[in-house]
């Protein structure tokens, strides 16, 4: 293992000059299993890909406006200059009633998010069944990684002439990204048979991904400032960096480290891969509803909470562009504020969770998200309130650092032993099933000429619904005791270390 690891390092170190002193996951140096390093590097590539979508999203909004015949201000014109005219004195884009493909330009990102969310909700059980019941896991992971890099190569050509193609690819890329995530998470429980080591791995790999996102934003913002690039130029810089970064950090793990896996299960007689995932999902949910009702209600809460949190970035980018008049650099700095705040916040609220319990802490995190998102539009109503945007960025960042670890901890405390594989698969699926709804509501309100502040505020409703469902999930202490009665069935371990347990059952994803 060690010799194979250092054989891979000959590609890693010259390419990105990463040493064990700089990498939080110390790739190839700390962990016995080389696939841990692969998991960390893949996470880095995915983290950069998420951030690049912010710069690309702002550029798509601007190009869509030009395509709709709108006039842009001089300080944010495109190259070449839009033929619809330029106002040299305005500080924010004049109102525009033009449409592209039947929608307002300001609805573009929300419509794209809705389409991706619907595709994911409909097809993820099928993808999970294929990964679980065939030996194609590695091939799907490698192919999706290649496709993501190839798509981003094409997207480096974003311009007024190519924006429609880039927008279409920005629907395909997030969907392929989700498929890739399903494959990557299939490897996670196979990395070690020690639950404490697994926690250490996930925590440090999350930090590695976070650091990637922070430095990625800093590099793009610095390059944008040095070149004086506009929104479209900033997107090009981001895409070029992403192609280099993801090319290296996808190639090393999938060509050098991740190994192929046999099928975890055979397809039952009379079943097909197209229906198997849905059938198993229905069966497991029915069992939880009858035997562990608290778990069933928790999954409903997760569906609404994840929908609100996942839609936040899409809605926030549009809101910052349309209402706040922020450039792509200013919007990326807002996301940077969120990221930097999330880490200390997660440590702070972890202490609170230990003190008051996961159930109460999770409900408070939902209150936090709901109130902050509901109040924000009233303090962020125009370009003159840009400073307030960064203040709310801190508050949202604290919310990100609070809600995710608390939500996962609460779920793990109440699920029955012996069914972790299935139930973690359902947990991932629950987080995707409604992600299309907040951007769809945002789009409907925007197309009906309702003020965009109500579009942003509508996202808060999802957290309040999740709060209500969590509140009525039943007595948490009883739910936890019921789960403890089944802990004898829980098996810790992974195939990579010689364990006998199954990997995450992705038929439910």
pLDDT in tens, 327-358: 777 888 888 888 888 878 877 887 888 888 88
**What is the enclosing helix (H) or strand (E) of 86?**
strand 86-87
Query: What are the angstrom distances between the C-alpha of 67 and each of 83, 100, 159, 180, 231?
Result: 10, 7, 11, 33, 15
Q: What are phi and psi of 58, to 5 degrees?
A: -65, -45
Say which residue the tokens 């960025």 belong to: 393
Nearest Cα neighbor of 275 from 424, 133, 420 is: 133
pLDDT band for position 287 (50/70/90)? confident
- DSSP structure string for 372-388: HHHHHHHH--SGGGHHH
Report the pLDDT averaged over residues 371-387.
90
Query: What are the angstrom distances between the C-alpha of 369 and each of 289, 373, 375?
Result: 27, 6, 10
Interatomic CA distance for residues 331 and 316, integer angstroms:
9
Q: Supply the pLDDT for residue 14.
A: 42
Q: Supply the pLDDT for residue 7.
A: 43
| Three-class SS state of 87 | strand
CA gyration radius for the chain?
Answer: 23
Interatomic CA distance for residues 420 and 314, integer angstroms:
32
In this structure, of 404-408, 441-445, 494-498, the range with the lowest mean pLDDT score is 494-498
Whether 193 has a pLDDT exceeding 70, the answer reads no
Of residues 225 and 477, which shows the higher confidence score? Answer: 225
Mean pLDDT over each residue of the chain, to the nearest integer:
77
| Neighbouring residues of 351: CB distance < 8 A, sequence distance ≥ 6 | none
Structure tokens belonging to residue 393 = 């960025």
| Three-class SS state of 100 | strand
Range among 132-136, 170-174, 417-421 rated most confident: 170-174
Nearest Cα neighbor of 415 from 354, 333, 358 is: 358
Whether 289 has a pLDDT exceeding 90, the answer reads no
Structure tokens belonging to residue 261 = 């896996």
Burial of 179-217, coded b for 16+ CB within 10 Å and e otherwise, reads bbbbbbbbbbbbbbbeeebbebbeebbbbbbbbbbbebb
Interatomic CA distance for residues 5 and 282, integer angstroms:
42
E-state strands within 199-328? none
Q: What are phi and psi of 86, to 5 degrees?
A: -130, 135
- DSSP structure string for 55-76: HHHHHHHHHHHHHTT--EEGGG
Report the pLDDT averaged over residues 397-409.
83
Whether 85 has a pLDDT exceeding 70, the answer reads no
pLDDT in tens, 115-133: 888 888 788 778 877 877 7
Interatomic CA distance for residues 15 and 255, integer angstroms:
15
Say which residue the tokens 């950090």 belong to: 249
């Amino acid at each position: 293992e060690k010799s194979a690891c250092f054989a891979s390092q000959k590609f890693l170190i010259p390419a990105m000059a990463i040493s064990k002193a700089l990498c939080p996951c110390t790739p190839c140096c700390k962990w016995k299993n080389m696939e841990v390093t692969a998991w960390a590097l893949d996470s880095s590539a995915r983290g950069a890909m998420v951030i690049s979508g912010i710069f690309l999203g702002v550029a798509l909004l601007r190009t869509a406006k030009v395509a709709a015949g709108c006039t842009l201000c001089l300080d944010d014109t495109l190259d070449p200059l839009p033929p619809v005219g330029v106002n040299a004195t305005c500080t924010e884009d004049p109102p525009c009633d033009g449409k592209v493909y039947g929608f307002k330009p300001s609805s573009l990102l929300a419509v794209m998010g809705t389409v991706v969310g619907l595709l994911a909700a409909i097809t993820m059980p099928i993808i999970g069944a294929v990964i679980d019941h065939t030996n194609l896991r590695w091939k799907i992971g490698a192919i999706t990684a290649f496709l993501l890099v190839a798509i981003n190569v094409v997207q480096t050509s974003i311009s007024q002439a190519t924006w429609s193609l880039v927008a279409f690819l920005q629907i395909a890329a997030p969907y392929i990204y989700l498929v890739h995530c399903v494959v990557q998470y299939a490897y996670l429980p196979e990395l070690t048979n020690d639950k404490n080591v697994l926690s250490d791995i996930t925590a440090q790999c999350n930090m590695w991904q976070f650091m990637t996102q922070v430095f990625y934003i800093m590099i793009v913002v610095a390059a944008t400032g040095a070149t004086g690039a506009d929104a479209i130029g900033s997107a090009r810089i981001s895409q070029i960096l992403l192609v280099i970064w993801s090319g290296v950090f996808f190639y090393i793990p999938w060509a050098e480290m991740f190994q192929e896996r046999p099928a975890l299960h055979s397809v039952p007689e009379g079943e097909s891969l197209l229906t198997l995932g849905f059938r198993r999902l229905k069966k497991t949910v029915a069992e939880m509803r009858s035997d562990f009702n608290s778990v069933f209600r928790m999954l409903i809460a997760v569906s609404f909470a994840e929908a609100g949190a996942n839609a936040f970035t899409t809605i926030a980018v549009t809101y910052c562009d349309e209402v706040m008049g922020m450039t792509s650099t200013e919007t990326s700095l807002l996301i940077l504020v969120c990221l930097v705040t999330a880490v200390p916040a997660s440590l702070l609220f972890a202490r609170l969770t230990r003190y008051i319990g996961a159930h109460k802490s999770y409900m408070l995190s939902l209150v936090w998200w709901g109130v902050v998102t509901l109040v924000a539009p009233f303090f962020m109503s125009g370009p003159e309130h840009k400073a307030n945007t960064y203040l709310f960025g801190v508050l949202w960042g604290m919310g990100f650092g609070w809600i995710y670890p608390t939500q996962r901890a609460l779920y793990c405390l109440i699920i029955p032993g012996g069914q972790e594989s299935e139930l973690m698969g359902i947990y991932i699926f629950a987080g995707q099933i409604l992600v299309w709804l907040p951007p769809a509501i945002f789009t409907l309100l925007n197309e009906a000429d309702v003020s965009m502040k109500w579009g942003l505020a509508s996202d808060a409703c999802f957290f309040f619904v999740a709060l209500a469902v969590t509140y009525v999930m039943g007595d948490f202490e009883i739910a936890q005791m019921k789960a403890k009665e089944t802990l004898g069935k829980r098996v810790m371990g992974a195939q990579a270390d010689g364990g006998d347990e199954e990997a995450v059952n992705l038929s439910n994803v």
